[in-house]
Amino acid sequence: MLYARFIKRGCDIVAAAAILILALPLLALVWIAVRLALGAPVLYFSERAGKGGRPFLIAKFRSMTNATGPDGTLLPDAERLTPFGRLLRRTSLDELPQLASVLTGSMSMIGPRPLPVRYISRYSPRQARRLEVLPGLTGWAQIHGRNSLDWPTRLELDVQYVDMLNRWYAPFLDLWIALSTVLQLAWQALTGRGIAAPGSATMTEL
């Protein structure tokens, strides 16, 4: 479809560039706050699976300390996640650096969230179809519960998005997801819902 193949990428570039320009003062403030609260490095990099399963690095503002146990290994997420880090996650400000990945073409504004490369071998053939499109900053699964969803539901919603992206209403679907995301971010900031899996500080392993 014309939208999925050509127009969507143009929309990604315009949207990501506009948000980055408008958010520059906020990015600078968050950078300084992370540096003061958690020290260096300010950014956290993680290898994720992109379109076709190709690995790429995403960047986030760091929300955890580097505290380790007596054996030198990092402590569990719940023990390293600070109140400041929880605030970053609750407002999704930690995700802002990923706009750079949208500009470089590794991500889209809207699509399945990029997951660790090690998960690829754990997908069923149907679930692996989520890799047919660029991963996104937000997506169909995110506006339906984000990390509060169990893995089968979340991955099924990702595949549903891949199917719908080739329908005539795909541009309206992306617009709906974008608008819904704005509302969800406001609700998430107020309630904290959807940020982590039930009973977990972040997200459980697939």
Are 206 and 151 in contact by the 8 Å Cβ rule? The answer is yes
**In sequence order, what are the beta bridge partners of 117?**
none
Listed residue (129, 143, 147, 205) closest to 174, CA to CA:
143
Residue with tokens 């408008």: 22
What is the rounded distance in angstroms from the CA atom of residue 145 to the CA atom of residue 88?
18
pLDDT of res. 195: 78
pLDDT of res. 201: 62
pLDDT in tens, 179-195: 999 999 998 888 877 77
Task: Report the share of the chain in percent with pLDDT over 70.
Answer: 98
Q: Which amino acid is at 64?
A: M
What is the rounded distance in angstroms from the CA atom of residue 97 to the CA atom of residue 80?
21
